[in-house]
């Protein structure tokens, strides 16, 4: 063992104590993860353009829709997309607006008296004369935005960076299987220093009480 005397700032002292208080072995804040660190993640979406020929590959991936008119937004329902088209254009549907599933495999006349059998989403929108800006499968995933040793600091980050994050979450991660590198020793070092600071505060408080 080597004894080292160092000077630290008040901020460093605060973080070290907070680390020791929240992340001792077995602490609930560790989320049953050995030597955890905490990652703030933000939700992102990957869009895959709709193609009826590969529809079976994305059976469980939700579709989103956007009509080709000024002021439109992406929506999660084909019915909502059709309704938004008529709302934004001021036109009226020539037939009852029903869902894709209700109209599938049925024949309809579009506004130009052309017969269309609905076999895919492109057919569905053509029946109503709706021009589409885009149809896409939307896949959700999370990307790492910031990392922390202390979970409450990650929670604080989510609050003060809320405007830059989309449905954020905190994910507890470990250093990796059989990681014999520097992470665990350095984490243990910080925890030991923090524990000594907390212990020193407790001893000082006890001494004051006995005076």
> Does pLDDT of 205 surpass 90?
no
Confidence of residue 105 (pLDDT cuts 50, 70, 90): very high
pLDDT in tens, 65-86: 999 999 999 999 999 999 999 9
Mean pLDDT of the chain: 95
Task: Work out the pLDDT band at 207, boundaries 50, 70, 90.
Answer: low
For residue range 146-187, what is the model confidence (pLDDT) as tens digits? 999 999 999 999 999 999 999 999 999 999 999 999 999 999
3-state secondary structure of 138: strand
Q: Which residue has the higher pLDDT, 95 or 1?
A: 95
**Contact (Cβ atoms closer than 8 angstroms) between residue 174 and residue 35:** yes
pTM of the model: 0.74
Token digits of residue 155: 């929670």
Specify the DSSP class assigned to residue 75: B
Residue 53 in 3-state DSSP? helix
Least confident range from 56-60, 113-117, 166-170: namely 56-60
| Residue from 19, 51, 12 nearest 35 by CA | 19
């Amino acid at each position: 063992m080597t004894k080292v005397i160092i000077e630290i700032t008040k901020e460093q002292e605060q973080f070290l104590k907070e680390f020791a208080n929240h992340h001792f072995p077995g602490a609930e804040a560790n989320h049953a993860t050995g030597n955890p660190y905490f990652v703030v993640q933000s939700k992102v979406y990957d869009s895959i353009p709709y193609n009826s020929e590969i529809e079976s590959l994305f059976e469980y991936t939700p579709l989103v829709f956007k009509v080709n008119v000024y002021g439109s937004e992406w929506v999660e329902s084909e019915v909502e997309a059709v309704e938004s088209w008529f709302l934004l254009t001021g036109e009226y549907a020539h037939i009852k607006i029903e869902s894709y599933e209700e109209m599938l495999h049925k024949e309809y006349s579009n506004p130009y008296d052309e017969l269309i059998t609905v076999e895919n989403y492109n057919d569905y929108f053509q029946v109503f004369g709706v021009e589409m800006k885009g149809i896409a499968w939307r896949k959700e995933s999370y990307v790492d935005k910031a990392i922390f040793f202390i979970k409450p600091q990650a929670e604080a980050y989510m609050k003060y960076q809320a405007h830059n994050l989309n449905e954020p979450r905190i994910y507890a991660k470990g250093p990796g299987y059989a990681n014999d590198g520097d992470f665990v020793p350095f984490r243990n070092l910080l925890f030991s220093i923090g524990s000594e600071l907390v212990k020193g505060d407790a001893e000082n408080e006890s001494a004051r009480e006995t005076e």
